[in-house]
Structure 1
Amino acid sequence: MTDHVSLVRRSLAGTDEFDRRVRDQGGRLADALAEGAFGNDAATLGLELEVYALDRTGESPTLAPVPDAVYEGPADKELGLHNAELNAAPSRFDDGGIAAQAEEVAADLAATRERARDHGLEIVLDAMPAVAPEPGTHEYLDDVEIRGTDGDPNDAAAPTDRRIVVPGGGPDDPVLVARNMRKDPRYGALDNVAVRRAGGEIEFSVPGATAGYRTILFESLATSIQPHVQVPDPSEFPRYHNLAVRTLGPLLALSTNSPFLPGDCYGDGVDPERLVDDTHHELRIAAFEQSMNQGCRKVRVPDDLGSPADAVEHVVADETFAPFLREWIEDEDDVEEEGQKGGDPTSAAWEFDYKRGTFWRWVRGVAGGDPVDGACDERSLRIEYRPLPTQPTVRDIVGLQVLTAGLLRGLVAADHPLENLPHEAAEESFYAAVEDGLEADLAWVTADGERTDDSETIFAEVFEFARRGLDEQGVDEETQDRYLDPIEARWEAGVTPSVWKKQRVRDHLDDGDDLEAALAEMQQKYVELSRERESFADWI
Structure 2
Amino acid sequence: MGDEVSRTTYTRSQRRQYRHKIQQCLDVFETMLAQSSFECERPLTGMEIEGNLIGDDYRPAMSNAGVLSAIDDPAYQRELGSYNIEFNVPPRQLTALSALDLETDVRASLNDAEAKARANGARIVMIGILPTLMPEHLAGDWMSDSARYAALNDSIFAARGEDIGIDIDGPEPLSLQVEDIAPESACTSMQLHLQVSPADFADHWNAAQVLAGPQLAIGANSPYFFGHRLWAETRVELFAQSTDTRSDELKNQGVRPRVWFGERWITSIFDLFEENVRYFPSLLPEVTDEDPARVLAQGRTPQLAELRLHNGTVYRWNRPVYDVVDGRPHLRVENRVLPSGPTVTDMVANAVFYYGLLRRLAGEQRPLWTQLSFAVAHDNFRRAARHGMAARLFWPQLGEVSVAELTQRELLPLARQGLDDWGVAPAVCDRYLGIIGDRVAAGRNGATWQVTTVRALQAQGLSRSAALAEMLRRYCTHMHSNQPVHTWPTEPAAGIGLS
| Cα 1:310/1:525, change in 2 over 3 Å | same
Question: Gaps (5+ residues) in structure 1?
Answer: 144-178, 267-275, 329-345, 372-376
Find the partner of 2:379 among 428, 435, 439: 428
Aligned to 1:34: 34
Q: Which amino acid in structure 2 is aligned with residue 438 of structure 1?
A: M
Q: Does 1:364 align with 2:319?
A: yes
Aligned to 2:212: 248
TM-score, length-normalised on structure 2?
0.86
Aligned to 2:494: none
Distance 1:5 1:77 in 2: 14
Find the partner of 2:278 among 317, 327, 332: 317
Aligned to 2:65: 68
Aligned to 2:51: 51
Distance 1:243 1:499 in 2: 27
Deviation per residue, 1:248-307 (Å, 9 max, x gap): 1100000000000243xx5xxxxxxxxx5xx21011112210011221411020242122
State whether residues 217 and 403 of structure 2, in contact with CA within 8 Å, keep that contact through their aligned partners in structure 1.
no
3-state SS of the aligned residue for 1:227?
Answer: strand
Distance 1:463 1:538 in 2: 20
Find the partner of 1:458 among 406, 417, 432: 406
Deviation per residue, 1:422-454 (Å, 9 max, x gap): 0000001100011101111212224xxx64435
Q: Does 1:299 align with 2:259?
A: yes
Aligned-pair distance for 1:200? 3.5
Aligned to 1:289: 240
| Cα 1:6/1:366, change in 2 over 3 Å | closer
Distance 1:94 1:311 in 2: 30
Spell out the pairing of 1:489-504 with structure 2 (5 A cutoff): 489-504=438-453
Distance 1:98 1:30 in 2: 35
Distance 1:444 1:36 in 2: 38
Deviation per residue, 1:123-171 (Å, 9 max, x gap): 0111111113xxxx3233233xxxxxxxxxxxxxxxxxxxxxxxxxxxx
Question: Gaps (5+ residues) in structure 2?
Answer: 247-255, 290-300, 490-499
Distance 1:43 1:106 in 2: 24
State whether residues 142 and 215 of structure 1, in contact with CA within 8 Å, keep that contact through their aligned partners in structure 2.
no
Spell out the pairing of 1:63-142 with structure 2 (5 A cutoff): 63-71=60-68, 72-73=72-73, 74-132=75-133, 137-142=134-139
Find the partner of 1:193 among 145, 151, 155: 155
Identity %: 28
Distance 1:234 1:44 in 2: 15
Aligned to 1:386: 336
Find the partner of 2:195 among 207, 221, 230: 230
Distance 1:193 1:186 in 2: 10
Q: Does 1:538 align with 2:498?
A: no
Aligned to 1:150: none
Distance 1:213 1:461 in 2: 43
Question: Size of the alignment, in residue pairs?
Answer: 456
Aligned to 2:185: 220
Aligned to 2:251: none
Aligned-pair distance for 1:70? 2.4
TM-score, length-normalised on structure 1?
0.79
Spell out the pairing of 1:338-377 with structure 2 (5 A cutoff): 348-370=303-325
3-state SS of the aligned residue for 2:27?
Answer: helix
Distance 2:364 2:259 in 1: 31
Distance 2:6 2:421 in 1: 53
Distance 1:501 1:239 in 2: 36
Aligned to 1:395: 345
State whether residues 12 and 322 of structure 1, in contact with CA within 8 Å, keep that contact through their aligned partners in structure 2.
no
Q: Does 1:180 align with 2:181?
A: no
Distance 1:5 1:95 in 2: 40
Aligned-pair distance for 1:115? 1.2
3-state SS of the aligned residue for 2:393?
Answer: coil
Distance 2:13 2:178 in 1: 23
Q: Which amino acid in structure 2 is aligned with residue 415 of structure 1?
A: Q
State whether residues 54 and 63 of structure 1, in contact with CA within 8 Å, keep that contact through their aligned partners in structure 2.
yes
Aligned to 1:406: 356
State whether residues 282 and 434 of structure 1, in contact with CA within 8 Å, keep that contact through their aligned partners in structure 2.
yes
Distance 2:383 2:32 in 1: 38
Distance 1:496 1:310 in 2: 35
| Cα 1:327/1:408, change in 2 over 3 Å | closer
Distance 2:322 2:101 in 1: 23
| Cα 1:87/1:110, change in 2 over 3 Å | same
Distance 1:479 1:522 in 2: 31
State whether residues 390 and 402 of structure 2, in contact with CA within 8 Å, keep that contact through their aligned partners in structure 1.
no
Deviation per residue, 1:310-354 (Å, 9 max, x gap): 2432332241232332459xxxxxxxxxxxxxxxxx963111111
Aligned-pair distance for 1:213? 1.5
| Cα 1:357/1:262, change in 2 over 3 Å | same
Aligned to 2:497: none
Aligned-pair distance for 1:182? 1.7
Deviation per residue, 1:456-500 (Å, 9 max, x gap): 542121111111111001000111122221122110111111011
3-state SS of the aligned residue for 2:386?
Answer: helix
After alignment, is 494-503 or 528-537 more displaced?
A: 528-537
3-state SS of the aligned residue for 1:366?
Answer: strand
Aligned to 2:292: none
Superposition RMSD in Å? 2.4
